[in-house]
Amino acid sequence: MSVKDRKSCNHKFRYYSVVGLAVPGHVVGTIDLWRCLNCGSIDANARRIGDTKPPSTIGWNILDEDEKWAILACYDKKAPNNWELIRIRPNLKFEHNCSGPERQFEITKEYNLILQNGMKPERHELYLAEDYMEKTILLVK
């Protein structure tokens, strides 16, 4: 189904999967994944520990054709704030706000994270949500 068709779909989202996020000793959050029964679009919402509100944006975050949901882990921040859910696509350049020197990033055509100088980051990692469904990512370096 094309992006245009997916964006005009009368979505009927159902819970699809979860990605767990943890540091040694405890869970710090989850990524809930939702799938539309009509068009197959995947939506996601991030929840940090203690957040018990149901998501209010399910169905509003429809990905473009080449976009994917990813978790950016930042080892310059303390848990539980050392991760964020982001939308990525090949050749995306973005800035991440943290206390460390690694702030300018780019996504390769293979959906890998590199610094804008072409080097691999030392203090940040990228995890594709689709690769970790029903699994837990241990956020330690």
The arithmetic mean of pLDDT across residues 87-115, rounded, is 93
| pLDDT category of residue 62 using cuts at 50, 70 and 90 | confident
Region 95-110 average pLDDT: 91
Show the domain range for 13: 3-138
Q: What is the 3-state secondary structure (H, E, C) of the chain?
A: CCHHHHHHCCCCEEEEEEEEEEECCEEEEEEEEEEECCCCCEEEEEEECCCCCCCCCCCCCCCCCCCEEEEEEECCCCCCCCEEEEEECCCCEEECCCCCCCCEEEECCCCCEEECCCCCCCCEEEEEHHHCCCEEEECCC
Our count of domains for the chain comes to 1
- State mean pLDDT over 65-86: 90
Q: Quick one: average pLDDT of 15-40?
A: 93
| pLDDT at position 114 | 97
pTM for the whole structure: 0.88
What is the per-residue pLDDT for 59? 58
